[in-house]
Amino acid sequence: MRVYLDNAATTALDPLVLEAMMPYLTDHFGNASSIHGHGRETRSAIEIARKKIADLLNTTAAEIFFTSGGTEADNTAIIGAVEKHNIKHIITSRLEHHAVLHTAQYLEKLHRVSVYYVDVNEKGVIDLAHLESLLQQYPNALVSLMHGNNEIGNILDLKKAGDLCHQYKALFHSDTVQTIGHYPLHLYSLPVDFIAGSAHKFHGPKGIGLLYLKSGSAIYPYMHGGAQERNMRGGTENTPAIVGMAKALELAYQRMEADRNHITGLKKHMIEELNKIPGLLFNGESADIDKSLMHVLNVSLPPSENNEMLVMNLDIAKISASAGSACTSGTNIGSHVLEAIGAKDDWGYVRFSFGRNNTKEEIDYCIKTLVKSIK
């Protein structure tokens, strides 16, 4: 048995998505910027995909731009907004994905902005009162706070945070990479100016993402060198991946309720079984079904000589899980998210993240292996 419990890092490509992509990897290969028949063919496919994605996210096609993934979308929103609006202050948190944190810190090193961090408690909950305090001191700022945390699973109330930002005339950006395709997003009614998404988090292809740019929230482009994406992102469009992302999001919405019931059931079962392990704790709000991502569960184990081998022992048993964010796996760098909530160095940490293809038998096998590894 080989068990994959790292769906927050990436998901398996759905066969129906591959099927939708194949014609654009073979027969329909034209450059969408070309005006001849081959180009018009692919241009049509891109715009149909854009409209489909916009409809699913309850917005307009004019507000959807394609990128190479969530990281580029985050960079584009932050750097483009700072340049366009001459922003001097960025407000974020220490729990953000590095695509946000490193971008803000890069701009600070260039003396373009000052960066301020919203307080979080030991569960990783954003202190909205402190956010308001910062906004009072630095109005007209750019605020970047993620919707669902990829490591500890905490979910931010986008409406509360966005309303607060707009009250002080701040722009609001949210990395929604872990929530698009898993939760319905009604962008027309959400007080967000920019969001980022990535197809491979909801069974689409890697290398394609989206930036939602709310009408009226203009920014400068980040990628230069062409007039693609209505002059907002230079570079030949990745037509097969764009078509694949639209198909993956369509399938995600069709299966959303069934997936939610199935994945939540797996998570509840694992929480119940892990609670039987003496000393085991859950990090962030990941064990609270109502306050966390349905697919993320982050656990910590008391100090033990086996902790350093914890994820490796799972891997030997053919179980794929993560010791932290997948973006730092394979390195000696600890999780900045766990550090921000006061995690202790001598404990063992592992993140399990579930998907539609997982089964209860796999969860039971994982728990049995984890208990064995601890002993």
pLDDT tens, position by position, 134-183: 999 999 999 999 999 999 999 999 999 999 999 999 999 999 999 999 99
Between CA 176 and CA 198 the distance in angstroms is: 9
Q: Are 90 and 82 in contact (CB under 8 A)?
A: yes
CATH architecture for residues 15-254: 3-Layer(aba) Sandwich (3.40)
Could you tell me if residue 114 is left (phi over 0), alpha (psi between -120 and 50 degrees) or otherwise beta?
Answer: beta
DSSP 212: E
> Above 50 in pLDDT, residue 18?
yes
183 contact partners, CB below 8 Å, separation of at least 6: 148, 256
> Above 50 in pLDDT, residue 331?
no
Average of per-residue pLDDT across 208-217: 95
Higher pLDDT, 327 or 184: 184
Between CA 306 and CA 292 the distance in angstroms is: 28
Is CATH 3.40.50.300 the classification given to domain 3-11+255-374?
Answer: no
Question: Which residues belong to the active site?
Answer: 327
Q: What is the pTM of this model?
A: 0.95
pLDDT in tens, 47-56: 999 999 999 9
Structure tokens at 367: 């728990």
Where are the extended beta strands (E) located within 107-200? 114-117, 142-144, 171-175, 194-198
**3-11+255-374 and 15-254, same CATH topology:** no
pLDDT in tens, 239-251: 999 999 999 999 9
Instruction: List the chain domain ranges.
Output: 3-11+255-374, 15-254
pLDDT in tens, 35-93: 999 999 999 999 999 999 999 999 999 999 999 999 999 999 999 999 999 999 999 99
> Above 80 in pLDDT, residue 16?
yes
153 contact partners, CB below 8 Å, separation of at least 6: 284, 285, 286, 292, 293, 295, 296, 297, 298
If pLDDT is split at 50, 70 and 90, which confidence band does 338 have?
Answer: very high
